[in-house]
Structure 1
Amino acid sequence: MKLQPDKSDIQTLTAHGPGWIAINNERVQESVVLGSRGERFAWDCQRFDELGALHFERLAALDAELIIFGSGDRIRFPQPAWLKPLMAQRIGVETMDTAAACRTYNILASEGRHVVAALLIEARAPEPAAGS
């Protein structure tokens, strides 16, 4: 799906599809953390079951108003214990599938909010070769 944000200096999620997103039209196929104040780094996980407390602890260090957790192709909630560092700093967390997280991030970032999207981009199994 192609997303059409208004012109802005913030990093925007310009498109998404199965196994990928686009940040300012740059295709990304690995999990990523993206912030409205220029934060961007790889998020070391390829599947939901690889996530743990350390992944969310790193997000707490960003001191955002809100963390939008894109949990992959479907909604899956992080364990409450993983969110303790965020709760201790009174940082909100919203969980949704990654496609919805992309759209929500763009809206909140365009409003000037300090929002961070932690997007799980799940590795796709290779397509079978033709004639196999």
Structure 2
Amino acid sequence: MVAINPGMVIGPLLQPTLNASVKPVLNLVEGVKIPCGTYRWVDVRDVAKAHIQAFENPTACGRYCLVERLTNHFGIFNILRGLYPDLNPPEEYIEEKASKPTYRVSKERARCLGITYIPLEVSLKDTVESLKEKNLINA
């Protein structure tokens, strides 16, 4: 038995509609406040690769947690601001108190499957470009 447990999946959208894990990215791009907290991000292409690798590798077993990076809302805000300064992400958030991630997710088991993660910066850029292509951004 193999279980693939991804964090919040972002990246290019296959479907024409918005999904729940990409909604915080869209909210930031459109200037909508998001909750403070720790976000666990992974690219959809890495999730797909992990499923294929787990299927094709006869020694794969157990649970594989897929998280490229743990970051708080400020980390995402700073990456988006660097990539898209004209999209004007919000400078305030729903809660006042900022938190640092208090735990880590091991990447070792995913590496055993041959997963090398797409960097969060690339995933966020590809997510925003996909949202633009699908006309889901109101900017």
The TM-score, its normalising length taken from structure 2, stands at 0.29
Higher helix share: 2
Answer with 1 or 2: which has the greater Rg.
2
Relative contact order (C-alpha < 8 Å, sep 6+): which is higher?
2
Higher strand share: 1
